[in-house]
Chains A and B, each alone.
Chain A
Amino acid sequence: MLFDDPVYASRLLTLLTLSFHIIYATIGVGVPLMIMIAQWIGIKKNDMHYIMMARRWAKGFVVTVAVGVVTGTAIGLQLSLLWPQFMELAGNIIALPLFMEVFAFFFEAIFLGIYLYTWDRFDNPKKHFLLLIPVAIGAGMSAFFITAVNSFMNSPAGFDIVNGQLVNANPIAAMFNPSMPTKVTHVLSTAYMTVAFMLAAIAAYRLIKGSNHVYHKKALYMTMKIGLVFAIATALLGDLSGKYLAEYQPEKLAAAEWHFETENEAPLIMFGVVDENQEISYAIEIPLMLSILAHGYPSAEVTGLNEFPEEEQPPLIIHYYFAIMVTIGVFMIGLSLVYWFGIRRGWPFVRAQWYRWLIVLGGPLSFLAIEAGWWLAERGRQPWILRGIMTVDQAATTSDYVGHMFILFAGLYLVLGIGTVVVLRKIFKNDPVEKELEKLQGGEPS
């Protein structure tokens, strides 16, 4: 299958590259903001610990940026190599945000290079801090533009097709397509949330492992607070995404919710399993919730999946992705909210080992939620590559050897993944906070 069918192999290779890339891309979008906040607090409070936080995060960040850049280059070129007919059509309408993404990336790359290598070169720490602003903006803008491209695939806009020919192209309308606002904001806020919980997990892990340093406590409290804010924002934006889906992509919403018949007062189904007769078992049903999620009031009519021709229905598996994403999101809101309250009120259990282990678990879980969310979004628009216009079969390359390339790239990502872990461990194991603090306080008074 993998070696005979270029369509199937192209889909798998794209899935592999993107699933690997978004781990690094999420870090790439989120970490600059965290570094910025830490350094800003450090300068404001004149607290060495926060400055060091920024410095240490930046050190680890370089490694992930390097892998993010190369996997980003890979997916950029793979779009043309694996989906040539799609890119031929899309190039006519959606090239503008793709092009601008490169500028944002360029901008970020330049200032990141300057930031990383000028820690010792400015007398005024505020000047060095200013370099972070273009880095964080560049990272956010890349996410903005590339998500605009993806949202175009979900809700194509800004052109007409007359007799098979593309006419009236409007690049601006294509970029500001209906799903762009919900997608972009959701992507940004989940990236900030995930990275905050990732850094919280690291701090919690160090505390569990016996380093009782106040540095880690400060880092943990700060990142959990940031994580909480963005987790709540994510939930609100997720609700808006649901309303967008009900309006523009009802088949995706219906498949994700296993909502087969069109009805009013539709219930929301969490978890469960489904058989081929659309019989659902072991599920939790929340009455009226789907109508509220989709349209904002309980008696609203929600379109069912059976309204759509069978060959245009997304796979039912996306329900599980939806469940994973939402469950983790709710869990993280609860975890960070309790932690924040607990620290303020002095509840002892939030400092207990078991609670810290939960926080450690929260890091990888947040990444899992990101992956699940993307799988939901992408498989949920099957069989289309451009919803309503071009299916994936029509877009894939006709070239042979896609299966072989899959194996090559799988090997590459394995090496890169292991390399990242090994290198990051090495950097921080050999240079724990205590040692670095000693060095800084001994060496220079600033």
Chain B
Amino acid sequence: MSLELIGISVLWLFLFGYVIVGSIDYGAGFFNAHSIITGKQHILSKVIQRYLSPVWEVTNVFFVFFFVGIVGFFPQTAYYFGTILLVPGSIGLILLAIRGSYYAFESYGARGHKGYAFMYGASGLLIPASLSIVLTISEGGFVSIVDDNPVLDYAALFTSPLTWSIVVLSIAAVLYISAVFLTWYAFKTGDDNATELMRKYAIGWSVPLIIAASGIIYELSFHNEEHFSRMIDLWWMFGLSFLLWIGTVWLLWKRTRYGVAFGLLVGQFALAFFAYGISHYPYLLYPYLTIYEGFTNTAMAISLIIAFILGMALLLPSLYLLMKLFLFDKNYVQGNNSKKE
């Protein structure tokens, strides 16, 4: 495997990690706000808060890791995407900041502030939408080179059906992933009402998800034929992903094995995410930048990979400890341990 492929695989893996943990986090914020507005707060908020407390900071790192890593492995992306993304990137950052500060402010200061809770929930849907614009842009057709500098055509971007399909997909995915996870988590806490409510949301969002995903493949057949034909070559990965989706919905429907259902969901998204990534290969920004042109020098690539392996050797046990203490600790999830509150 070439260094370029290792680099992009590592980054794609981390982006996938962010999609999963970020979705759980964003969706949880949305469901929390939704439950306040619809007066169902008593059912959900405890479960959500208990999950979010120790992990909100960790989620953010996955994102930072991705954008620092991509500049490291593919420095030219900083030039192209950095120039193009000033406005959408800044808006995404501001939304992230509102969210990031919310948790600390809310849980220690103005507990139960409705306006902030609402902003928290809304930002949970807007952030994935603003970040997913990168995926649209990388398909090509929205960037032109003027005086040697890349320029983004906002009008073309915002009138393209592809943009909006990807936005819809990102929102549906966030709510679906989050609902399935929280169903499982609520079930583990032994909270039947919360489980039932989240299960309803999960099943409800499964259908829009699959429609949006199919819609994008259809849009791509007009927008970027090369990418579309490579996706067709990988039909079996998408097909397998679809089967896993059926599996998740089936288990939810039958009210059994929520843990397995979430596992199938991760598999479903992993397959679709990697199939999409592989079919996009070798372009980072179609048709200007490929992973070969944009790659860093060999010395840097090797030192980054070594740093990555050492970093992982440190992180994986720590992450395991975190999960063991909070996600999979029976006493903690059921709220038995805490003496205060």
Q: Which residue of A lies closest to B97 (CB)?
A: A70
- Point out residues on A near B: beta carbons under 8 Å: 59, 62-63, 65-67, 69-74, 76-78, 80-85, 87-93, 95-96, 98-103, 105-107, 109-114, 116-118, 120-121, 134, 166, 169-172, 397-399, 401-402, 405, 408-409, 412, 416, 419, 422-423, 426-427, 443-444
- Residues of chain B within 8 A of A114, CB atoms compared: 54, 321-322, 325-326
B81 within 8 A of A: yes
Are B338 and A110 within 8 A (Cβ)? no
Are A88 and B79 within 8 A (Cβ)? yes
- Residues of chain B within 8 A of A397, CB atoms compared: 82-83, 86
Partner among A72, A117, A134 whose Cβ is within 8 Å of the Cβ of B54: A117
Are A116 and B54 within 8 A (Cβ)? yes
Partner among B61, B80, B94, B104 whose Cβ is within 8 Å of the Cβ of A102: B61
B57 within 8 A of A: yes
Partner among A77, A103, A111, A117 whose Cβ is within 8 Å of the Cβ of B53: A117
- Residues of chain A within 8 A of B80, CB atoms compared: 84
Partner among A63, A95, A120, A409 whose Cβ is within 8 Å of the Cβ of B90: A409
In the complex where A85-B79, A110-B315 touch, is A99 in contact with B101 (Cβ < 8 A)? no
B65 within 8 A of A: yes
Are B304 and A96 within 8 A (Cβ)? yes
Chain B residues within 8 Å of chain A by Cβ, number: 70
Are A81 and B337 within 8 A (Cβ)? no
B105 within 8 A of A: yes
Which segment of B20-28, B68-76, B264-272 sits at the interface? Answer: B68-76
Q: Which residue of A lies closest to B317 (CB)?
A: A110
- Residues of chain A within 8 A of B147, CB atoms compared: 398
In the complex where A70-B101, A120-B339, A422-B109 touch, is A76 in contact with B58 (Cβ < 8 A)? no
Are B108 and A91 within 8 A (Cβ)? no
Partner among B93, B149, B151, B311 whose Cβ is within 8 Å of the Cβ of A77: B93
Are A88 and B109 within 8 A (Cβ)? no
Indicate with 1 or 0, residue by residue over B320-341, a CB within 8 angstroms of chain A CB atoms. 0110011000001000011110
Are A67 and B304 within 8 A (Cβ)? no
- Residues of chain A within 8 A of B75, CB atoms compared: 87-92, 95
A147 to chain B, nearest CB (A): 16
- Point out residues on B near A: beta carbons under 8 Å: 53-55, 57-58, 60-61, 63-65, 67-69, 71-76, 78-87, 89-91, 93-94, 96-98, 100-101, 103-105, 108-110, 147, 149, 151, 296-297, 299-300, 303-304, 307-308, 311, 314-315, 318-319, 321-322, 325-326, 332, 337-340
Partner among A77, A99, A444 whose Cβ is within 8 Å of the Cβ of B69: A99
Are A112 and B57 within 8 A (Cβ)? yes
Are B296 and A110 within 8 A (Cβ)? no
Q: Please report the C-alpha to C-alpha distance between residue A73 and residue B311 in the assembled complex, in whole angstroms.
A: 19
Are A427 and B64 within 8 A (Cβ)? no
Are A66 and B105 within 8 A (Cβ)? yes
Q: Please report the C-alpha to C-alpha distance between residue A71 and residue B60 in the assembled complex, in whole angstroms.
A: 12
A123 to chain B, nearest CB (A): 12
Please list 12 pairs of residues, one from A and one from B, whose beta carbons are closer than 8 Å in the complex, sorted by A's number: A59-B108, A65-B57, A100-B311, A102-B68, A106-B315, A112-B57, A113-B322, A114-B325, A121-B337, A397-B82, A398-B147, A419-B105
- Residues of chain B within 8 A of A81, CB atoms compared: 82, 85-86, 89-90
Interface centre among A63, A93, A110, A412 (most CB of B within 10 A): A110
Q: Which residue of B lies closest to A85 (CB)?
A: B79
- Residues of chain A within 8 A of B339, CB atoms compared: 120, 443-444
Are A100 and B307 within 8 A (Cβ)? yes
B331 to chain A, nearest CB (A): 8
- Residues of chain A within 8 A of B103, CB atoms compared: 66
Given A70-B97, A77-B93, A102-B65, output 15 extra A-B contacts at Cβ < 8 Å.
A66-B101, A80-B78, A84-B83, A87-B82, A88-B76, A91-B78, A100-B307, A102-B61, A102-B69, A106-B315, A117-B53, A117-B326, A120-B337, A399-B86, A423-B109
